[in-house]
Amino acid sequence: MIKKIILDTDPGIDDVMAIMFAEAHPEVELRAITTIFGNVTIDTATHNALYLKEKYQLKADVVKGADKPLVRPPVGPSVVVHGESGFGDVEVPNEVEAVADPRSAHQYIIDAVKAEPNEITLVAIGPLTNLALALQAEPEIVNLVKEVVIMGGAFGVNDHRGNVTPYAEANIHDDPHAADIVFSASWPVVIIGLDVTEQSFFTGDYLEQLRDDAGELGQFIWDVSRFYLKFYRDKVGLDACHVHDPSAIAYVIKPDLFTLREGPVRVVTEGPAEGMTVQKFDGRKYLHDDWENHTPQRVGVAVKDAELLKLYRQCIVDYAHKVG
């Protein structure tokens, strides 16, 4: 069964890995890439998406999204992780022929789910501003989306709590107010956070093998990963990178790779714990409970990491051989 997705992204090195994963898998139809600030500015994110569209002849529309958070001051691009261009040391041409859809990203999302009710899954692997803006403009879309899959957050499972602060993950920290709106809405959300993404690793050897076996695409993934792996080696002490954004695509393709925990989720929107994600999952009644009346959402708490890595590799290699 074909799974239609709109991928909301801030490309971004691991975003490249996720975009091409979605494009490569035969059961996924990548309808659109909506862009968002985060790893890079909104202009760079959109340019990078258009570059990928042109380079790999993607049929997906590219649509420019929000350039800043709903409320909090912008954090700024993650240059230390993704480089100035977003693609590490890989240079992106200044000019591309591909053009973006004229609509805003949030309006595109609204139009798309209205046109195909309950058929489109929204996959967001950057800050959640575009999704929050869509909810604010058309609250009824909660009944029109098939599912919402988020790469973001950290809930303390497997000892993973945050990556930009002790208790906040980057995508949520970039716009915590948007995340709280998205998680509190009455649509079905699956959150694939650090609790599972930091359990899987693309090692140097894994990426070298992908380079050798997956043609030009494997080489491109390897090229952009050089900067990323240097960051992990220098700052985190790993000869590998966590499988963040591709894990969200893996969930769409094969949900049983993940174990999920259900319960409403809230986001801390100010103070030193800004961006912290907290799930109530005990079912108890409390005197004071700002979770009680919110929609239960599902959070990833375990992953079959070896199967995920095998799925990613096989998908990219098969696609590379297919397109030559």
Q: What residues act catalytically?
A: 244
Token pair belonging to 94: 């200044």
Q: Indicate the DSSP class of residue 255.
A: G
In whole angstroms, what is the distance from residue 6 CA to residue 251 CA? Answer: 14
Cα distance between the two ends of the chain: 25
Q: What is the greatest pairwise CA distance in the chain?
A: 62
Pairing of strands 28-35, 61-63: parallel
SS3 of residue 42 by DSSP:
helix
Token pair belonging to 225: 């990963």
In whole angstroms, what is the distance from residue 76 CA to residue 204 CA? Answer: 28
C-alpha dist (Å) from residue 288 to 262, 291, 292: 20, 9, 9
Asked whether the bond before 12 is cis by omega within 30 degrees of 0, the reply is yes
In whole angstroms, what is the distance from residue 132 CA to residue 58 CA? Answer: 26
- Paired with 62 in beta bridges are 33
Token pair belonging to 265: 């989720």
